[in-house]
Amino acid sequence: MLKKSLPLLLIALSLHPGIVSASAGLQEDKEAHRVAKLKEEIVRRSSTGEKKVVRVRLLDGREIKGYIAQAGEDKFLMTDEKTGQSTSVAYAEVKQIRGKGLSTFQKVAIGWVAAGLLLTIVGANN
């Protein structure tokens, strides 16, 4: 009897609206957290006053290159540095933002290589 009723009980519990809404709430919390982190990053990059080029990858797969001209409450304004064309982008549409240039890992690797070369040169002279 227990073998037959246990799967039915588990199915009934998994279909219960309270459990489904709780898992949907967790998903919404993750999405809100993701958007908040992206917004913080975009506001930080736009507040420097410099026109640093960034690449913004959107959830639909498109990529926009330019600088962040203005950051608002729900969206921000990207301006293409070559054409001057502005595009309004909602924070919720952004998948990833990257700065143009070297990553921290690449900078550290270059430093280690330079230090190794320097030590090799100094060691060869002694």
Instruction: Give 54-75 pLDDT, tens digit per residue.
Output: 888 999 999 988 888 888 888 9
Query: How confident is the model at residue 58, as a pLDDT?
Result: 92
Strand pairing of 86-90 and 75-79?
antiparallel
pTM: 0.56
Most distant CA pair in the chain: distance in Å? 86
Q: Cβ distance 96 to 57 under 8 Å? A: yes
Residue 11, CA distances (Å) to 14, 15, 22, 49, 94 in order? 5, 6, 16, 56, 36
Paired with 97 in beta bridges are 56
